[in-house]
Amino acid sequence: MNPDHYVSLFIGRAADARAMIMFFALFHTGILVVLGFGGSGLEDSGVQLALAAVAVLTGLWSFFFLDDVMQDLYAAASDLPEEFASSNLGRRFDAVPVGVFRVVNLVVIALIVIAEVLAIY
């Protein structure tokens, strides 16, 4: 594959990741605002269930999407020509513990969602 195609892939997937992170941050900030100012409406079990479902489902969606982006980026980096692999940036890509980033991504999203669900109930 032409190296320009790799660059386009990196740019596109990085934009995907930024968009998903922004979506997650805004959506969960909205949930926190509702929790903070929801008042007596949050005592309704239907409202609680809806908020909990939204928190959990958007958390899962965000995790799976970001995990897919990370896998694509590291797979593409490993397919780059030897010229890239021997560069400083290529060596950094090789040194990154992908599994650790995937676990940290899961833990951060899970902790946020768990805190929200605990606050809802």
User: Tell me: the pLDDT tens digits for 35-75?
Assistant: 888 877 788 889 899 999 999 999 999 999 999 999 988 88
The 10 Å CB-count burial string (b at 16+, else e) for 82-93 is: eebeeeeebeeb
> In the predicted model, is pLDDT for residue 1 greater than 70?
no
Tokens of 57: 């489902």
- The parent domain of residue 40 ranges over 3-120
User: Tell me: the pLDDT tens digits for 86-110?
Assistant: 888 778 877 888 889 999 999 999 9
Domains in the chain, number: 1
Q: What is the pLDDT of residue 91?
A: 82
Length of the chain in terms of residues written: 121
Residues 6+ away with beta carbon under 8 Å from 35: 42, 51, 116, 119, 120
Widest pairwise Cα distance in the chain: 62
pTM of the full structure: 0.82
Q: What is the pLDDT of residue 3?
A: 66
Q: How far apart (Å, rounded) are the C-alpha atoms in residues 4 and 9?
A: 9
Q: What are phi and psi for residue 96, nearest 5 degrees?
A: -70, 125
Mean pLDDT of the chain: 88
Q: What are phi and psi for residue 38, nearest 5 degrees?
A: -70, -25
Q: How far apart (Å, rounded) are the C-alpha atoms in residues 44 and 46?
A: 5
